[in-house]
Amino acid sequence: MDMEENARPEAATETATESVTETAHSPAPAFDWDPRSPEVQSDQIAAYDAMRAKCPVALGAQGNWAVFGHADTKRILADPGTFSNAVSAHLSVPNGMDPPQHGPFRAIVDRYYTPDRMAAFEPECRAIAQRLAAALPVPGDVDLMSAFAEPFANEVQCAFMGWPATLHEPLRAWTRKNHAATLAMDRAAMSAVALEFDSYIREQLDLRRSAGDLAPGDTTTELLGERVDGRRLSDEEIVSIVRNWTVGELGTIAASVGIIADFLARNPDVQATLRAQRHDGELLARASDEILRIHAPLIANRRRTTAPVTIGDRAIAAGERVIVLWASANRDERVFGDPDEFRLDRNPADNLLYGDGVHACPGAPLARLELRIVMDELLAATASIERGDEAPQRATYPGSGWTSLPLRLG
């Protein structure tokens, strides 16, 4: 699932490092860095590391304040009164809500990610991972993103919602269109793809209403019966909840699978250790958390200041956009030492992979279930995972991870 409540790709905001240089004849720029510069996009993680060292709170060319440090990020997450999640003009349930409005809606969402529900869903999730892993060319070369990571995220989310297999391909096509529109900052195209996605959800709601007592007892049907403040959720509220779940799943889980597979390919010692202990689900879950701390699958989320505030040495006015950069905070040397060192003995409370505070990711239990199953099944289906001959293609902002990941499977 999404790594924080508001992890929609179109809700991610500017992140990056300085691309403007001063000359003796030019005035100082009005901003510190350009998040969308080619230099940043060539390696986002390295760019954020550099920025964290030289300008830990920076004004971007698009007018957003980016926060790179772990302590500053924790402060923001702990203070939703000053750093509001109400950043969009569109209804966003519950991620775009602040306390106390947020609480009743969040309580509804949390009921769908309990330990009992995760245990009940595990066999279906594992069956999808096993089938896709069994179809991989072993031995042989494969683009893991298109052959495994993307279809896994798509099929698992449809299974979790109770949606038919006929939606697999339309949702994959929709994901590509959504990413292209967001990357281009094409507002008209973004609105069109958002409406397209909402139509898929509304169709599923209408089918269940028409079926009456014969409607399947799935997650989508259950949402139709949810109530808040003594009334049923509106269709607009249900669509917003499901949109948030699904966009986070399709984008962030696919990115996570690719990042994990690439890490295993580049770290044969870790791969060997996990192969030897792949039946230890707790170990695999800790390993996935640590791998995704090193290389974040979600770059950033937005906040908006409700009062004047000082972060670091920067005075920020009320009403300003502030970006929390998971891809930087989770690599802060003051907390983690060498950010690239893989360690399973770190304090889990320091890892902001799934956010923190009232807006921490409600779907974290499902994400951890999916990722430990993926790791288990990929290791079970192969004797080795290595980088292929072709170079992988990095995802660009607002994405993370890889758009293509050529691997050699043995």
Task: Evaluate whether 368 touches 352 at the Cβ level (below 8 Å).
Answer: no
- Give the pLDDT of residue 96: 95
Written as one string, the DSSP assignment of 288-325 is: HHHHHHHS-SS-EEEEEESS-EEETTEEE-TT-EEEEE
255 SS3 class: helix
pTM of the complete model beyond 0.85: yes
Residues 6+ apart with CB under 8 A from 212: none
Beta partners for 59?
65
In single-letter form, the type of residue at position 161 comes to M
Euclidean distance between CA atoms 192 and 32, whole angstroms: 33
Euclidean distance between CA atoms 59 and 270, whole angstroms: 38
Q: Which CATH architecture has domain 9-409?
A: Orthogonal Bundle (1.10)
- Give the pLDDT of residue 18: 30
- Give the pLDDT of residue 182: 74
pLDDT averages per 10-residue partition of the chain, 410 residues: 49 30 47 93 95 97 96 98 93 95 97 98 98 98 97 97 94 82 80 88 96 97 96 96 88 96 98 97 98 97 97 96 97 98 97 97 96 98 97 91 97
In single-letter form, the type of residue at position 250 comes to L
Euclidean distance between CA atoms 391 and 375, whole angstroms: 22
Q: What would the pLDDT profile of 87-103 be if each residue is shown by its tens digit?
A: 988 899 999 999 999 99
- Give the pLDDT of residue 48: 97
Strands of 107-207, DSSP E: 140-143
Euclidean distance between CA atoms 133 and 374, whole angstroms: 9
Which residue matches tokens 């998971």? 326
Residues 6+ apart with CB under 8 A from 92: 6, 11, 240, 244
- Give the pLDDT of residue 255: 97
Peptide bond into 100 cis (omega under 30): yes
How many residues belong to the chain? 410
**Counting Cβ atoms within 10 Å, is residue 395 exposed (0-12), middle (13-18) or buried (19+)?**
buried
Q: List the 65-67 sheet strands across, edge first.
A: 57-59, 65-67, 321-325, 300-305, 83-84
- In this structure, what token pair is assigned to residue 86? 């109400």
Q: What would the pLDDT profile of 103-144 be if each residue is shown by its tens digit?
A: 999 999 999 999 999 999 999 999 999 999 999 999 999 999
Euclidean distance between CA atoms 257 and 265, whole angstroms: 12
Peptide bond into 35 cis (omega under 30): no
Euclidean distance between CA atoms 121 and 116, whole angstroms: 9
